[in-house]
Amino acid sequence: MTNEEQILEILKENQKISELTYKAAEKTRKYLFYTAILTVLMFVLPLLGLIIVIPMFLNSYLKGLDGLI
Cα–Cα distance for residue pair 66/60, rounded to 1 Å: 10
Residue 5 has pLDDT above 90, yes or no: yes
Distance of alpha carbon 36 from the chain centroid: 2
What average pLDDT does this structure show over 7-34?
Answer: 97
Taking every pair of Cα atoms in the chain, the longest distance, rounded to a whole number of angstroms, is 99
The CA-atom distances, in angstroms, between 15 and each of 9, 32, 40, 49 are 10, 26, 37, 51
Query: pLDDT, tens digit, for every residue of 25-42?
Result: 999 999 999 999 999 999
H or E stretch covering 65: helix 3-66
Cα–Cα distance for residue pair 1/66, rounded to 1 Å: 96
Please count the structural domains in the chain: 1
Give the global pTM.
0.63
Query: pLDDT, tens digit, for every residue of 42-61?
Result: 999 999 989 999 988 888 88
Which domain, by its residues, includes 14?
1-69
